[in-house]
Structure 1
Amino acid sequence: MFAREYVANLAARGDYHFTTDDVAKATGRSPRAVRAQLRRLKARGTIAEPVQSFHIIIPPEYRSRGCLPPEQFIPQLMGLIGEPYYFALLSAAQRHGAAHQRPQVDKVMVRKNRPSIECGQVRVEFVARRDLRRMPVCEFNTPRGTARYSTPELTALELVGYPNYAGGLSNVLAVLRDLVDEMEAEGLVEAAHLSPVSWSQRLGYLLERIEEIDLARALRPLVSAHAQSFTPLRRAVSRIGADRNGTWKLIVNVDIEPDE
């Protein structure tokens, strides 16, 4: 058996992920010979290798992109290496119907930093959060299985917690306007108790800005009980002369208008 036959058999069974070792074991050929055969398949656009020795089969509808969408191979990759994960930030917001356009780079939360992935036109960046196993997630079906995403409420908190990964606070505010339709107060409080209190301070203020009073009100007890000091709305900007919001113990050191 040649590598091309192995790949064809996998696709016929609806399996689109494999490793170099899988091919070597199935064909009885040396790793060197297998790699040579796989290089030829890559050159033809039949397969891609987003991570060394981890391969994906590219069906015709994705040949122009040179890769499967991230949600169709990241879960399998993370399962192979035994790492927890979930799609986060603008990638999760888009899944929940709250992104104006699909993000150019997908963001995946993992326990520690990993090199980004470039596969054809697909870009995946990893963001580290050590306690991600505790975070509330939801699963969505994909043509290749299921993929894990942060809940709408956790997504909102992480957007204000990692604004540099989300196009800045003005973009975050615009995304929140759509994301709130999927958010519930109970879920927001649950996620807030698992996150830094400064995120709740910022998010509560932004929710009030877009007149989502019920959601903002749900965060007030946590902020009142746990916020020990005033925190800046934007950390990298001077606080001199900035207004202070007593409700959220927030230094409003930037003027934010939502991106249209």
Structure 2
Amino acid sequence: MNDLVARGQYHFTSKDLRDALGVSNVATRQALSRLAAKGEVASPARGFYVFVPPEYRRIGCLPADQFIPALMAERGTPYYVGLLSAAQYHGAAHHRPQEFQVVLAGNRPPIVCGSVRVTFVARKRMADVAVDRLNNEHGTILVSSVEATALDLVGYMHRSGGVDRVAGMLAELSEDLDPQKLCDASESASILWSQRLGYLLDFVGAGDKAALLKDHVQRNAKNYTKLLPYVNGSVVQRSKDWRLYANATIEVEA
């Protein structure tokens, strides 16, 4: 096992350990139990283990960003880091999420490993979402582009802390938004997401980044939609530009 760590490999399967030790399945399970009891290994998923260096023993696991790429590769599952976790990568630093959010093509139960929690969001047309490959402590990780992150935050507002928090993050992210890339990103989602995103960008003073998106909405949005689709609050404002009923008062989180 020390050889694996020396090579920078902090994750392994039970088969990897059995082959490395040259022992039986029973002996492998016993070895894993001893290591887990000492806090030296943890298991974020069935049959998948991570070494836990001393600096992470207090949380009982590796941080999620250090094992998710390996776990997804081992399971052959396309993924990207999204929503609040992606926003943090792109500079919305003070909105620190309580869980690590990963987007997949389908549903998957959350992972709890020590005090580390990973939740999964199922997204249609996930393969069409633009991602950035970013460096981390043990390799690289796929994170939605800043434009795709902005779109997903609005599309999954209920998973992103609500409209006030999303508006605050959009204000932080807006400086890095590219208008053309934002318009391109909108092609991977419902036009309703673009209507809500454009309205919120206008609201936080970043309407210049949404000019091309506005053209896209005005060409393709056939109906008005609500800012908060599942809320029956009274309409505060009607936006002709975005064909949207603002049915909530927004207080941007700073």
Q: TM-score range by the shorter chain?
A: over 0.9
Cα gap change, 1:236 to 1:40, in 2 (>3 Å): same
1:155 to 135, 144, 149: 149
Matched, 1:237 2:231: yes
3-state SS in 1 of match to 2:59? coil
Deviation at 1:213, TM superposition (A): 2.0
Matched, 1:76 2:50: no
Partner of 1:99: 93
2:58 to 53, 64, 67: 64
Partners of 1:99 and 1:256 in 2: CA distance: 21
Deviation at 1:172, TM superposition (A): 0.2
Partner of 2:110: 116
Matched, 1:132 2:126: yes
Partner of 1:4: none
Deviation at 1:233, TM superposition (A): 0.3
Partner of 2:210: 216
Partners of 2:235 and 2:90 in 1: CA distance: 38
Q: 8 Å contact 2:235–2:245 — kept in the other structure?
A: no
Partner of 1:193: 187
Q: 8 Å contact 2:95–2:169 — kept in the other structure?
A: no
Cα gap change, 1:259 to 1:17, in 2 (>3 Å): same
* Deviation per residue, 1:187-211 (Å, 9 max, x gap): 1011012211111100111111111
* Deviation per residue, 1:65-86 (Å, 9 max, x gap): 1111111100000000101000
Partners of 2:178 and 2:236 in 1: CA distance: 32
Partner of 2:23: 29
TM-score (normalizing by structure 2): 0.96
Partners of 2:16 and 2:249 in 1: CA distance: 55
TM-score (normalizing by structure 1): 0.94
Q: Which amino acid aligns with 1:142?
A: N
Deviation at 1:218, TM superposition (A): 1.9
Partners of 1:168 and 1:33 in 2: CA distance: 49
1:176 to 163, 170, 186: 170
RMSD (Å) for aligned C-alpha atoms: 1.3
Deviation at 1:214, TM superposition (A): 1.2
4+ runs deviating over 3 angstroms: 239-243
Matched, 1:167 2:161: yes
Partners of 1:31 and 1:130 in 2: CA distance: 40
Matched, 1:43 2:43: no
Partners of 2:89 and 2:3 in 1: CA distance: 32
Partners of 1:241 and 1:107 in 2: CA distance: 31
Deviation at 1:228, TM superposition (A): 1.0
Q: 8 Å contact 1:90–1:99 — kept in the other structure?
A: no
3-state SS in 1 of match to 2:58? coil
* Deviation per residue, 1:221-260 (Å, 9 max, x gap): 1101111101110011116555421110101111111123
Q: Which amino acid aligns with 1:49?
A: S
Share of identical aligned residues, percent?
44
Partner of 1:225: 219
3-state SS in 2 of match to 1:64? helix
Cα gap change, 1:36 to 1:106, in 2 (>3 Å): same
Cα gap change, 1:146 to 1:187, in 2 (>3 Å): same
Q: 8 Å contact 2:186–2:194 — kept in the other structure?
A: yes
